[in-house]
Structure 1
Amino acid sequence: MSFAENQTSDEAIDGQKPGDKGSGIFAVPDPASPIQGAFKKVIVTDITYPECVRRGQNCMVYKWLPKRVDQKASDCPTKGSLCTKSCAHDLCLCIDGTCQ
């Protein structure tokens, strides 16, 4: 089994303590979709970075942000932009070379 890619930026965890709370952004496979590689984005608030890493292990990709993110605002405003390992916007994840 391969582990999910952690796209948390170094800046996001710089200066944080293990108990500091933030939000996790997770891409989970969507078995209801007939499209290969389909996923759902899930936002979990009030979790620590270590908890985000633990929860993200069975996801496609994930990242932690040192702030509360609105769980209803999951759309990536730069969807389709090319990326290599991460995307600049908080709500975006780099999946298959594009921000999602």
Structure 2
Amino acid sequence: MGRPIAHNQTQRQHIKNAVEKKERSLAPEIGVAIFVVPDPEKGVDALKGVAVDGIDYEESVRRAEHCLMFKWVPHSVGTLEDYQAAKASPSFHCTGRCYSESDCPHSWCFCGGLGPIYECELY
């Protein structure tokens, strides 16, 4: 993929909801975080997604510090099983150009590339 368009690719609405819950002292929503990291077993430029289930947004931000990019998806939107099914499905596609993290067709897709052309991709 090249460079990510943004390190944190969590959809803005999910971030807004997490911040509002924290400001109102409500329990944080739990979800799935996908961390994109190098995959030296596959090659020099290869990347892979590492999914962590049962995590809130703030914890995913802390854990993402040394990752290339990440996103957090609340369980109200998708589960670990949904992510695993998307990765296993030959019919699931993260296709298309993107200009921001919210341009990709699905919550599991990341936006990155060699700029100025960016593409959506599933890790």
Normalised by the shorter chain, which TM-score bucket?
A: 0.7 to 0.9
1:7, 1:63 within 8 Å by CA — same for their partners in 2?
yes
* SS in structure 2 at match of 1:78: coil
Partner of 1:21: 30
Distance 1:58 1:98, change over 3 A: same
Kept after mapping to 1: 8 A contact 2:38/2:47: yes
Q: Distance in 2 between matches of 1:73 and 1:43?
A: 13
Superposition deviation, residue 72 in structure 1: 2.4
Distance 2:47 2:74 in 1: 24
Match of 1:51 in 2: 59
**In the TM superposition, what whole-angstrom CA distance separates every residue of 1:46-72 from its partner, at most 9, and x where no partner exists?**
101010101111111111111133252
Match of 2:7 among 1, 5, 8: 5
C-alpha RMSD of matched pairs (Å): 2.1
Query: Quick one: structure 1 residues 25 and 15, their matched pair in 2 at CA, closer, same or farther if it must change by over 3 Å?
Result: same
In 2, the alpha carbon distance for the partners of 1:88 and 1:56 equals 23
Q: TM-score under structure 1 normalisation?
A: 0.79
Query: Structure 1: 5+ residue runs without aligned partners?
Result: none
The percentage of aligned residue pairs carrying the same residue is 35
**After superposition, where does 1:55-66 map in structure 2 within 5 Å?**
55-66=63-74
Q: Which runs of 5+ in 2 are unaligned?
A: 1-5, 23-27
Is structure 2 residue 107 aligned with structure 1 residue 90?
A: yes
After TM superposition, which residue ranges in structure 1, 4 or more long, deviate above 4 angstroms? none
Length-normalised TM-score, structure 2: 0.66
Report the equivalent of 1:78.
93
Deviation, structure 1 residue 74: 4.8
Q: Do 2:96 and 2:119's aligned partners in 1 also have CA atoms closer than 8 Å?
A: yes
Larger radius of gyration: 2
Counting matched residue pairs gives 96
